[in-house]
Structure 1
């Protein structure tokens, strides 16, 4: 499909590329993906964009990948491209794609990270990238957790989100109950005195590890479902870590089982 030039900010063909909020995209089951590396990694994972908006350099370098593909290709000069996108587009491409479906619980793998109220895009994206790097291939997120498919989280994950199995849970308590019944060990995280050092706990082959929010930690209602609540040993004057940092330390252990 030949590339079509965009000459006006008001061109209706590029409306979706102007969206900065996820609400309308989520309603239409779509996502925005930007930067060449992330767009190409999405494609390498078997997902075809619905449309891309690029500068000429990106098309010169990668245009052949879109030949014969059911993807509308638009291009614009850099100044107009940046007005459409709403910021400096250093990398030269932005893509509109179908939002991956939330998977069934039974489709998730044996190494499973659970996010409970993690609500910063940078944390979610970094955690996803760390999961991919360390061999944890499944993610269960509750509805209070920021979607890993919002634009910034996708970019921070560097495209790793397209290699991870994801389920958004409408009832995390029920899903964790089902996982326990299915033979998963459920490990919570916390900082209370009666928690266990993570390096003193045996992680089972089927394990679901819960990471809570930075401000409030894991929901207290989930504690009763946990086989153990674990902590990262730290010096006394430090009471907690950034959620993505804590997840990275624990994922090293989870990914090694």
Structure 2
């Protein structure tokens, strides 16, 4: 899988994420930022080479690659389920139930990292996965937070509840999100863009929470809703 962009590379290096190779532009019209990235890759012993801009463009089908293309291998490196053993106290997990849009996924990853969340969980089937688009929209932050794929979300929720997590599903309900106690070990479930949370997954939640809206607006984009709820969790835990 080829990904691109300077911020993406910076996050890869900061996360010590293993890659097959980094391709930098061979153009002589480079700037200090790019030269600093080359030196950073060299310092951390990453394999890299230089290629013409047209070659980089063919790799990622875009001209705005910023002079950086990274071959991260066949597939993104997802977390293992034993990641649960390493979560800190008062952890925040966000569970995405069959999300489909890579732009929404990338935006949620960005909000999750910015709100100090600890883990993102997606189902193995019928769900968007990590793609170059997701990585680009996340500004490389997909490399900064563990992302776990599980076979069965309902079973996963049962597992984390036994570990002391309270699980909240984002759905139309009488529980206004900012009136709820969202401290401690918390998992937030966000549903599919069109259908919301599946009934079987919803039934595993301890409570459903909603975002009140004015002017007869009945719903928000899932990435916007996730951002609002994640930052409320962050705010309550920061008190």
Question: Which TM-score tier does this pair reach, normalised by the shorter chain?
Answer: 0.7 to 0.9
Is 2:170 the partner of 1:189? yes
Secondary structure of 2:203 counterpart: helix
TM-score (ref. length: structure 1): 0.80
Q: 2:54 aligns with which of 67, 79, 85?
A: 79
Quote the Cα distance in structure 2 between the aligned partners of 1:69 and 1:183.
Answer: 39
- 1:78-97 correspondence to structure 2 within 5 Å: 78-97=53-72
TM-score (ref. length: structure 2): 0.85
8 A Cα contact 2:96 2:121, kept in partner? yes
Q: In the alignment, which residue of structure 2 is the partner of 1:45?
A: 15
**Aligned alpha-carbon RMSD (Å):** 2.0
- 1:50-199 correspondence to structure 2 within 5 Å: 50-56=20-26, 57=30, 60-67=35-42, 71-98=46-73, 99-104=76-81, 105-109=84-88, 110-143=91-124, 144-147=126-129, 149-191=130-172, 194-199=173-178
Deviation at 1:146, TM superposition (A): 1.1
Quote the Cα distance in structure 2 between the aligned partners of 1:134 and 1:42.
Answer: 20
Q: In the alignment, which residue of structure 1 is the partner of 2:204?
A: 225
Q: In the alignment, which residue of structure 1 is the partner of 2:214?
A: 235
Deviation at 1:32, TM superposition (A): 2.8
- Count of residue pairs the alignment pairs up: 224
8 A Cα contact 2:122 2:149, kept in partner? yes
Deviation at 1:54, TM superposition (A): 1.9
8 A Cα contact 2:110 2:138, kept in partner? yes
Q: In the alignment, which residue of structure 2 is the partner of 1:21?
A: none
- Stretches of structure 1 that go unaligned for 5 or more consecutive residues are 1-30
Q: Against the structure 1 CA distance between its residues 108 and 199, is the aligned structure 2 distance closer, same or farther, given a 3 Å change threshold? A: same
Deviates more, 1:58-67 or 1:228-237: 58-67
Quote the Cα distance in structure 1 between the aligned partners of 2:176 and 2:43.
Answer: 54
Higher-Rg structure is: 1
Q: Against the structure 1 CA distance between its residues 60 and 136, is the aligned structure 2 distance closer, same or farther, given a 3 Å change threshold? A: closer
8 A Cα contact 2:79 2:149, kept in partner? yes
Q: Against the structure 1 CA distance between its residues 83 and 96, is the aligned structure 2 distance closer, same or farther, given a 3 Å change threshold? A: closer
Q: Against the structure 1 CA distance between its residues 40 and 141, is the aligned structure 2 distance closer, same or farther, given a 3 Å change threshold? A: same
Quote the Cα distance in structure 2 between the aligned partners of 1:107 and 1:120.
Answer: 29
Deviation at 1:61, TM superposition (A): 4.4
8 A Cα contact 1:55 1:92, kept in partner? yes
Quote the Cα distance in structure 2 between the aligned partners of 1:171 and 1:38.
Answer: 30
Deviation at 1:79, TM superposition (A): 2.8
Q: Against the structure 1 CA distance between its residues 85 and 200, is the aligned structure 2 distance closer, same or farther, given a 3 Å change threshold? A: closer
Deviations 1:90-146 (A, max 9, x none): 411110125323321434452111111111111111111111111112111122331
